[in-house]
Amino acid sequence: MLGRLALQRLLAAIPTLFGAIVVVFFVLQLIPGDPVRAMLGENASAEEVEEVRDSLGLNDPLAVQFLRFAGRYATGDFGVSIFSRQPVIEEIGQRLPSTIQLALGGVLVAVVLGVPMGVLAAARRGSLIDHLSLGTSTLGVTIPNFLVGILLSFAFASKLGWFPTLGAGSGGLWSTINALVLPSLTLGLAGMALVARMTRSAMIEALGEDYVRTANAKGLSQRRVVYWHALRNAAIPIVTIVGLNFGHLLGGTVVVELVFARPGLGKLLLDALLARDYPVVQGVCFLIAVLFILVNLIVDLLQPLLDPRVQA
């Protein structure tokens, strides 16, 4: 049953993936004038320009260019970086683990802090806790994450010295985790705010249902009613918002990796954007879109597991 749903959703994702290739392809077409000149700068010799133009296949008609581009992308060939001359896929491969760690850290922060905040706020509606949690979540989405990063790094790394200010640790497990704490907090804060809000409203709805009244009437403890009956029923909207927020989170890695000097995908993308290394820009953007589509596919597949009423 679940297998059929997985296959169905996987097939439905193919047009979106194809669309993502189209978008990534057209980013290069947006460049006014000669893209190769834009990439190499005014000082490049005519031979260099011709060589890059040839390697990108820019002398062919647009339709041919696109078909070749789509064919390459479909087989995982994202071209070669203009500057490092390395295959883009290799550059991505080197940076991906660090970014995945950061993204998971961000999701963890969003869920571990956001869900209890929302549950408490819903269980004690109108109380001080409710107002505090609303205030925190409003602040969480209004403070820019680069500011959060700078302030956290100042307080907990520079002043207190609990965590390293820069880098991804020196390799060991403890050092890696230690270097992940502040970046994950920075990245997860906005997500935490959204998760808390969604949890609160889903919980308020669940707490108003008949089965909650029944559970209360049976004399079950308030804690058991909230965490066992209501939270399980509020799980789907919470998981959905985490999935939808994952794209935002991946976009945020660009900022967080810059602030904490972590060598990840976001940093790779930013350097490529500033250096106009378009093959790298295209490859990283496409990969991030693929990750986002994948995560939402997983969210879709989780739904029948979380709630048997959702037909698989």
Partner 1 sequence: MNTALSILRRHPSIAIGGMIVLVVVGAALLAPWLSSYDPAAQNLIARLRPPGTPEHLLGTDRYGRDVLSRVLYGARVSLVVGPASVLIAVSLGLSLGLTAGYFGGRTDMLIGRIFDVMLAFPSILLALAIVAALGPSMGNMILAIGLSMTPTFGRVIRSAVIAVRARDYIASARALGAGHLFTIVTHVLPNILSSVLVVATVAIASAILVEATMSFLGLGVPPPTATWGSMVADGKGMFLNAPWIVISAGLPITITVLGFSLLGDGIRDWLDPRSK
Shortest CB 227 distance to partner 1, Å: 26
From the number of C-beta atoms within 10 Å of its C-beta (0-12, 13-18, 19+), residue 29 rates as exposed
In the three-class reduction of DSSP (H, G, I as helix; E, B as strand; rest coil), residue 160 is classed as coil
Shortest CB 229 distance to partner 1, Å: 25
Shortest CB 182 distance to partner 1, Å: 14
Q: Which amino acid is at 187?
A: L
Q: Can you say how many angstroms the Cα of residue 311 is from the centroid of all Cα atoms in its chain? A: 28
Q: Does 312 bind partner 1 (CB under 8 A)?
A: no
Q: What are phi and psi of 80, to 5 degrees?
A: -120, 140
Show the DSSP H helices in 124-172 as ranges: 128-142, 145-152
Instruction: Name the segment binding partner 1 (CB under 8 A); options: 90-98, 114-122, 124-132, 274-282.
Output: 274-282
Comparing CB distances to partner 1, the nearer of 17 and 212 is 17
**234-273 footprint of partner 1 as x/- string (CB under 8 A):** -------------xx-xxx-xx--xx---------xx--x
Tally the C-alpha atoms within 13 A of residue 263's C-alpha that lie toward its C-beta: 11
Q: Does 28 bind partner 1 (CB under 8 A)?
A: yes
The encoded tokens of residue 205 equal 């709805």
- How many other C-beta atoms lie within 10 A of the C-beta of residue 128? 8
Q: What is the separation, in whole angstroms, between the first and last Cα of the chain?
A: 6
**135-164 footprint of partner 1 as x/- string (CB under 8 A):** ---xx-xxxxxxx--x---x---x------
The encoded tokens of residue 102 equal 């950061």
Comparing CB distances to partner 1, the nearer of 185 and 254 is 254
Query: What are the residues binding partner 1 (CB under 8 A)?
Result: 15-16, 19-20, 22-23, 27-28, 30-32, 138-139, 141-147, 150, 154, 158, 247-248, 250-252, 254-255, 258-259, 269-270, 273-274, 276, 278, 281, 285, 288-289, 292-293
